[in-house]
Structure 1
Amino acid sequence: MDSPAQRRLLEQAPRTLVLFCAVTAVTAITSQVLHPTATLLTSSLGGPVPTASLVGRGVGRVLMFAAAAVVLSWRARVLGPESRVWRYFAAAAWVATAAAAGAGVLDLLSLCGSSGAAGGGGLLLGLGVLGACPLLYQGLVRWNRRGTLMSEPGDWLNGVGAVFTLTAIGNLLLPALSSPIAQWPLWQEQLWLLRTSAEIVLLGSTGTVLHLGGLVRDARAWALLLSFGLVVVIDLAAVHDVAAAAGNGRFSEVGWTLAIAVLAVAAVVRTDPPSSRPATTTAPTTGAFVVLLASIAVLAAAGLTSGGFPDHGVHAAAVAGALGAVSVAVRGVQLVRLLADLVTSRHEALTDDLTGLANRRALDRALASALSDPPSDDVAPEGPVTLMLIDLDGFKDVNDRFGHAVGDELLRRAGALFETLSPPQSVCARLGGDEFAIVLSDTSTQTSSEVAQALFTSLAEASAEPVLIESRRLVVRASVGVATAAPGHAPEQLLRHADAAMYRAKSAGGARLCVHDEAAALADEQRAQLVEELKVLLHSPDAADDLEAGRVVVHYQPQLSAAGHVAGTEALVRWDNPRLGLLTPDRFLDLVEEHALMPDLTAQVVWLAVHQAKRWQHDGHDLRMSVNLSASCLSHPRLLVMVDDVLAETGLDPANLVVEVTETSLMADPQESIARLRDLAARGVDISIDDYGSGYSSLAYLHDLPATELKLDRSLTEQVTTNPRTADIVAGTVALAHRLGLRVIAEGVEDTATLAQLHALGCDETQGYLHARPMSADACHAWLTTAGTTRPVELAADAR
């Protein structure tokens, strides 16, 4: 089992190499401190002890740097999210490895007496540091790119400008500090200044990334910060030490040896994800501004102090300062361009491409701003916010008839009209399609309905004249929904209220204005909740998972023959809702049809009704079972399969199943409906024409349909005793039905006089409250057990 320390490492991490790096780094640092390179090079030319120490130290240093580079390359290859960070760190380690190998060779040659190699080792190490710093900088600024925008393609210019500016400052400071480095050859002095400046920039970048990158709790970042800090302290302390400045001092190699070892350990340590920070351009912009000011200050100082310093130092300071200023100026131009692009993109992101109005995102912002709470109790809340949602009437027909080019131009004209007529300080937006919105955030002098009504009147007057688009005269008419909310309310609620009001305006015939009404909104919300519960009840694919919808219940109403015998029952659906109780069809059937759920509901009703008919048959009640089919059910492709399956499952004789259809449902698609009914009749299922006489009844259906039953609507039944013409119509209908071989059932029978008249006119069967109300399966079974003849019951409104 792994120890706690091992569990803190990444899986499959090269632990042996990391351990080798750590041990070798400690050994190299100890050797360097005890026996500085400068001491070994000057103690004895070609002596065996200095040579062995120098060779051993050089080989160990190269192997340590190479091992660290291998570990960093492994991290870049294995873990994707930060691969670019560790790829740059690995490249820096390989540069350090090459520099260390070259420096070791030059030191050995110098020890062996080669004058050309004297001081070359320290110089090569300095060049290696100068080459590694940009790579480390690029890796640092890309750390935690997942959580924050830490770098842009031009950020390196800030770093270059900072290095040149610090180099320029160093050219002025070294003579002032009487540093022996100022007496070096110019190229060597500038190399030392560039290297030290790069290390200082690297230290500053580490601290910046630690803060901006959300890495404050990351021990790896702190370890790097401390090791780079040690590097800077060691180099700055060497200002008066020639050997240390040349890279051969007692502590010259300690900082970078420690930094490379820390990188190797950091590559394999498991850490928590860094905290996320928002993307910002503030840091690079501020950094560029500071560096630019520093460069200008250095140039000014070089000009003012040119008489007191060596000419080469002043000239070098001026050149470095100018290079720093140019670098940062170029970066400044890039930032200005980025900011301009950002402003443009933000404008485009808030603008509708077609009309030039504000878009949905801009509307959301405007509503959020207008409805935000006042900043304090001392600030009086602003007036209510009024939202008008506008939907163009008949726009789809314009697109379909004349094409999208004409439709788009109509939208542009409409948008321009709405924007022109909108009051000052309002926001006019296009939400998409043919929907527009106007936000009125200052209606303190008038009520929201007055402002909206005045604007709607202006719109109606302005759009009375047709607009000419591609030689076509089109009229812009719109339906408008209005809602108002006080500051502090949710924008989504205001949008919902205005949307509901707009749809009420559309459903009322269009080209009108409706103001949000709390009672109507509550009804809409309850209706929407019922729809969601219906979807759960009928197993719709987009149903919610956490709703309790109850169950489908079937009630039954008997149908009695003229002799008083029970001939059949009609299945009438109910919904046992756990929230609202037992609901009759008038509470939910329109929603079922509207949301295309009728086939699923009918399948459940047929299944329950046919199984109940079979159970009653076993109990000795051989009855017909009538179920209603809507137009959507008649056209459903699985209707015949569903009927076949339930008849096969129950074994019920198809002649005991009656399918009731209305003429209205047949009119949706007469040919397909009649063909489907003929298929059912071919299976032995009876077909009933329901609600006959409720509309413009057509004799053609009696001819075309394979019907076995005609069901008189209650509108005829109710008047059969009071209106002689109705009695004649019933008599003629009964005679015609009998000539066609149809039985006739009259529904809605509620008194004995009506029953007697219907029998006298020849009706075969009757159904209504006089015999029995619709009742549950158990109650109907009890009724069937005791019912031998017709028996009046208390009259009540039909709850079917």
Structure 2
Amino acid sequence: MEHPAQYRLIEQAPRQQVLLCVAVAVVATVSQVLHPTATVLASSPEGPIPTAVLIGRGSCRVVMFAAAAAVLTWRARVVGPESTVWRYFACAAWVATAAAACAGILDVLSLRGSSGATGGGGLVLGLGVLSACPLIYQGLVRWNRHGTPMSEPGDWLNGVGATFTLTAVGNLLLPALGSPIAQWPLWQEQLWLLRMSAEIVLLGSAATLLHLGGLIRDARAWALLLSFGLVVVIDLAAVHDAAAAAGNGRFSEVGWTVAITALAVAAVIRAAPPSSRPATTAAPTTGAFVVLLASIAVLAAAGLTSGHLHDDVVHAAAAAGALGAVSVSVRGMQLVRLLADLVASRHEALTDDLTGLANRRALDRALSDALSDHSSADRPVTLMLIDLDGFKEVNDRFGHAVGDELLRRAGALLERTSPPGAVCARLGGDEFAIVVPATPTQTSHQAARELFTTLAEATSAPVIVEGRRLLARASVGIATTTTGDTPEQLLRHADAAMYRAKTAGGAGLAAHDAAAARADEQRGQLVEELKVLLHSPDAADDLDAGRVVVHYQPQLDADGQVAGVEALVRWDNPRLGLLTPDRFLDLVEDYALMPGLTTEVMWQAAEQAVRWTQQGHRLRMSVNLSASCLDHPGLLLLVDEVLTRTGLTPTDLVLEVTETSLMANPQASIARLHDLAARGVDISIDDYGSGYSSLAYLHDLPATELKLDRSLTAQVTTNPRTADIVAGTVALAHRLGLRVIAEGVEDVTMLTTLHALGCDETQGYLHARPMTADDCRAWLDATGPARTTATATAAAPATATTGATVTATRTSTP
């Protein structure tokens, strides 16, 4: 498969400068090979040809290096990625340009009686190369950093140490090889060795770059590696050729000409994607260790051969070896400090700042290690999840400083009481976790239960924090690993168990149960679907939640005429079918979704009431309001919008509120109900008699209706005291001008009794079960016309009649 984008030129690249560099490089190389500088310098200086050759060759070198430097400078300034790398390469090229200019001038001057082997131009060019090598090395090091997440500020010390060590080795080898370079002045010999050593270090760095930098697929890195290899081969071949070693040989300038040209060409080529490598200190540490050993070996060799070599050579070798050892020793100290910082940072990354316990990251690692252990199948691991009871109240009453101290005390207690081998962690807030291993004498589950007993005893006494007596009791959930469990699943199981312990009253223990876990999972899925159904902001995008469906149950007066209907919500779930409110209303309340559900029901109910009115059945439409909806600031706006847009007559809308919702905030609730009543909407007190009933509020409420709960109506035929309560309630309601509706009517005897006790209307399975809008329309058509007005006054007791003779043993669900 082709990847043309990897190796094509960068857009707007200076191609002319690159072509100029390549062309001039070819001319300079051919000129050097055909007419080596040493030969030209040794020829007769009287003719114009030697001067012209040297001037032309020097000009070519300057133009080539300057063109390459310009291209590299463009690459560093214009293209963002790797800009630092190319900035160092550009500096190296400019240094080479200056050296080439000075070398050309000295070569021309050398025609006046200088030796071809020791022309000044070659020496200056060598010094320029030596000065450029550190710059190129820095570029290579940063190229490596670009391809890896590792950044080592002291990498250059490895290069310096390696260069000095190789120089020391060269001092010992040149005399043994009989090289004419050993006869040069000591300073000139050391300069040659330093340059040769620096070139070898560059070659090694380029080779390392391919692997550590992940640049195996990058043609630019390969071009540098091959060109540096050519430089080293040419210079090593000059060991026995004094003219070539001085930089004036046939191939002396070919290597660096190719290298600088390769840099210029690489600067305009798009980078291939690097293969990212993980951060590691292994490579620099190994390199420093190898160089240090080599330096020590050179020093030892210098000492052993001191009797066979000139003192100056031994001293130079020893000095270079010592400098190499010092450089890598400094680098080693940096690496030790780096490793110490790395250990400290890893410790901090795995430790909770407040308690000193392990944190969530460390717990995940401990769980992963425990679950990956081959023995975990035979000796399962148990996770305890611990949540402090009442911690929020401590923070709210006494401040976060006291809360933090309580957390520290709790963490210390957990660590002190945990068995050997356990991992204690703080997950955040007031939540802790303990990974409990198995022991030869008991399972991890048994150990966890025993630990809970110890914790319960230890936390039975209050903790004194800043003079305050605080309890650090906790709810604990435990889960034990089974085959195939992941750390996430184990945490989820323990969290579900802890939640059950918390909801059971707190300060208790609950273990993971598969059936309970499935129920929790089902509950969680229902919550997510409800969020989608009711358009919660954090709802998922890819769930099919079905739709809200409204069923209707008729309300009949004593004459058997239909006076109204109650809107009862259902959820048509695509997975579970039609769900009644007892399956989901608690979740709607728990997750603050009731306003959205009430809005949907009210719109559907109002539109249906208007539709039935147009069809000849004008009915009161009753809609339930929860406590959260009664307090919602958007309730009045919703009612206004529904009445306006649907055209529903306000008196045809009845809003049912329970006594429980009223008692939550009586003053605010009564004020809100007066606002609703001012719009002409009827107010009904629902489920009267199901719980705490306060007659004191009846005269303050703008209610028009009282609904007796089925808990009263179910006993009205069997318990005389209940019948008396119903009779008294009906009488009181009538004196206050309230209509009384009895819910849960299931047989004719009950219906007759309730009418005899004065109930105005009845609702229940005897008349009809809750049904869809279409079925209710059919039922209405079969039953007969509804009232002509939606407002009924309190009726006198009457003989029971019914529009249906169905009896049932179940009660309806509102």
TM-score by length of 1: 0.97
SS of corresponding position for 1:531: helix
| Distance in 1 (alpha carbons) for counterparts of 2:427 and 2:318 | 58
| Distance in 1 (alpha carbons) for counterparts of 2:633 and 2:376 | 63
1:606 aligns to 2:606 (yes or no) = no
1:577 aligns to 2:573 (yes or no) = yes
For the Cα contact (< 8 Å) 1:147–1:278, is it kept in 2? no
What are the equivalent positions in structure 2 for 1:176-575 lying under 5 Å apart? 176-374=176-374, 381-443=377-439, 445-486=441-482, 488-575=484-571
| Distance in 2 (alpha carbons) for counterparts of 1:192 and 1:36 | 19
Q: 2:613 aligns with which of 594, 611, 617?
A: 617
| Distance in 1 (alpha carbons) for counterparts of 2:214 and 2:62 | 34
Question: What's the offset of the Cα at 1:289?
Answer: 0.4
What whole-Å deviation, never above 9, does each CA across 1:14-54 have from its counterpart, x for those lacking one?
12212222222222212211121222222231532222222
| Change over 3 Å in CA distance of 1:474–1:380 after alignment to 2 | closer
Question: What's the offset of the Cα at 1:108?
Answer: 2.1
Which region of structure 1 is more displaced relative to structure 2, 521-530 or 133-142?
Answer: 133-142
SS of corresponding position for 1:582: strand
What whole-Å deviation, never above 9, does each CA across 1:654-702 have from its counterpart, x for those lacking one?
1111111111112222222222221111111111111111111112321
Name the residue aligned to 2:788: none
| Distance in 2 (alpha carbons) for counterparts of 1:144 and 1:324 | 23
For the Cα contact (< 8 Å) 1:390–1:502, is it kept in 2? yes
Question: What's the offset of the Cα at 1:487?
Answer: 6.2
Q: Give me the CA root mean square deviation.
A: 1.9
| Distance in 1 (alpha carbons) for counterparts of 2:737 and 2:77 | 86
1:165 is aligned with what amino acid? Answer: T
| Distance in 2 (alpha carbons) for counterparts of 1:86 and 1:12 | 17
Give unpaired runs (5+ residues) of structure 1. none
Name the residue aligned to 1:661: 657
SS of corresponding position for 2:39: helix
For the Cα contact (< 8 Å) 1:550–1:575, is it kept in 2? yes
1:700 aligns to 2:696 (yes or no) = yes
1:465 is aligned with what amino acid? Answer: A
SS of corresponding position for 2:568: strand
Name the residue aligned to 1:714: 710
| Distance in 2 (alpha carbons) for counterparts of 1:482 and 1:534 | 29
SS of corresponding position for 1:306: coil
| Change over 3 Å in CA distance of 1:652–1:444 after alignment to 2 | farther
For the Cα contact (< 8 Å) 2:567–2:605, is it kept in 1? yes
For the Cα contact (< 8 Å) 1:373–1:487, is it kept in 2? no
Question: What's the offset of the Cα at 1:481?
Answer: 0.5
Question: What's the offset of the Cα at 1:272?
Answer: 2.7
For the Cα contact (< 8 Å) 1:389–1:499, is it kept in 2? yes
For the Cα contact (< 8 Å) 1:149–1:279, is it kept in 2? yes
1:764 aligns to 2:760 (yes or no) = yes
Question: What's the offset of the Cα at 1:149?
Answer: 4.1
Q: 1:729 aligns with which of 720, 725, 739?
A: 725
SS of corresponding position for 1:511: coil
Name the residue aligned to 2:805: 792
What whole-Å deviation, never above 9, does each CA across 1:162-214 have from its counterpart, x for those lacking one?
00000000000011111111111111100000000000001001101111111
Give unpaired runs (5+ residues) of structure 2. 785-801
| Change over 3 Å in CA distance of 1:112–1:685 after alignment to 2 | farther
| Change over 3 Å in CA distance of 1:187–1:449 after alignment to 2 | closer
Name the residue aligned to 1:637: 633
For the Cα contact (< 8 Å) 1:141–1:150, is it kept in 2? no
For the Cα contact (< 8 Å) 1:384–1:444, is it kept in 2? no
Question: What's the offset of the Cα at 1:105?
Answer: 1.7
For the Cα contact (< 8 Å) 1:384–1:443, is it kept in 2? no
Which region of structure 1 is more displaced relative to structure 2, 397-406 or 560-569?
Answer: 397-406
SS of corresponding position for 1:307: coil
What whole-Å deviation, never above 9, does each CA across 1:516-567 have from its counterpart, x for those lacking one?
1111011000000000011111111111111111011000001111111111
Q: 1:743 aligns with which of 739, 742, 759?
A: 739
Name the residue aligned to 2:140: 140
Q: 1:782 aligns with which of 775, 778, 784?
A: 778
2:804 is aligned with what amino acid? Answer: R
| Distance in 2 (alpha carbons) for counterparts of 1:761 and 1:735 | 9
1:128 aligns to 2:153 (yes or no) = no
The aligned length equals: 794
| Change over 3 Å in CA distance of 1:487–1:259 after alignment to 2 | farther
Question: What's the offset of the Cα at 1:292?
Answer: 0.4
2:287 is aligned with what amino acid? Answer: G
1:627 aligns to 2:593 (yes or no) = no
| Change over 3 Å in CA distance of 1:524–1:34 after alignment to 2 | same
| Change over 3 Å in CA distance of 1:136–1:207 after alignment to 2 | same
| Distance in 1 (alpha carbons) for counterparts of 2:364 and 2:506 | 26
| Change over 3 Å in CA distance of 1:630–1:362 after alignment to 2 | same
Name the residue aligned to 2:19: 19
SS of corresponding position for 2:699: helix
Question: What's the offset of the Cα at 1:104?
Answer: 1.4
| Distance in 1 (alpha carbons) for counterparts of 2:176 and 2:289 | 27
For the Cα contact (< 8 Å) 1:107–1:117, is it kept in 2? no
Which region of structure 1 is more displaced relative to structure 2, 557-566 or 469-478?
Answer: 469-478
Question: What's the offset of the Cα at 1:95?
Answer: 1.1
Question: What's the offset of the Cα at 1:446?
Answer: 2.8
For the Cα contact (< 8 Å) 1:228–1:255, is it kept in 2? yes
| Change over 3 Å in CA distance of 1:324–1:218 after alignment to 2 | same
For the Cα contact (< 8 Å) 2:117–2:248, is it kept in 1? no
Matched-pair identity in %: 80
Question: What's the offset of the Cα at 1:724?
Answer: 1.5
| Distance in 2 (alpha carbons) for counterparts of 1:179 and 1:538 | 90
For the Cα contact (< 8 Å) 1:46–1:113, is it kept in 2? no
Question: What's the offset of the Cα at 1:467?
Answer: 2.4
| Distance in 1 (alpha carbons) for counterparts of 2:282 and 2:714 | 83
Which region of structure 1 is more displaced relative to structure 2, 399-408 or 600-609?
Answer: 399-408
Which region of structure 1 is more displaced relative to structure 2, 435-444 or 501-510?
Answer: 435-444
SS of corresponding position for 2:622: strand
Question: What's the offset of the Cα at 1:146?
Answer: 4.4
For the Cα contact (< 8 Å) 2:569–2:581, is it kept in 1? yes
Name the residue aligned to 1:167: 167
| Change over 3 Å in CA distance of 1:101–1:611 after alignment to 2 | same
What whole-Å deviation, never above 9, does each CA across 1:35-84 have from its counterpart, x for those lacking one?
21222222231532222222222222212211211211222122223111
For the Cα contact (< 8 Å) 1:107–1:118, is it kept in 2? no
For the Cα contact (< 8 Å) 1:383–1:486, is it kept in 2? no
| Change over 3 Å in CA distance of 1:461–1:95 after alignment to 2 | same
1:323 is aligned with what amino acid? Answer: L
| Distance in 1 (alpha carbons) for counterparts of 2:386 and 2:296 | 58
| Change over 3 Å in CA distance of 1:70–1:672 after alignment to 2 | farther
Question: What's the offset of the Cα at 1:5?
Answer: 9.7
| Change over 3 Å in CA distance of 1:487–1:225 after alignment to 2 | farther
2:422 is aligned with what amino acid? Answer: S
| Distance in 2 (alpha carbons) for counterparts of 1:35 and 1:704 | 117
Question: What's the offset of the Cα at 1:625?
Answer: 0.7
Q: 1:646 aligns with which of 638, 642, 649?
A: 642
1:173 is aligned with what amino acid? Answer: L
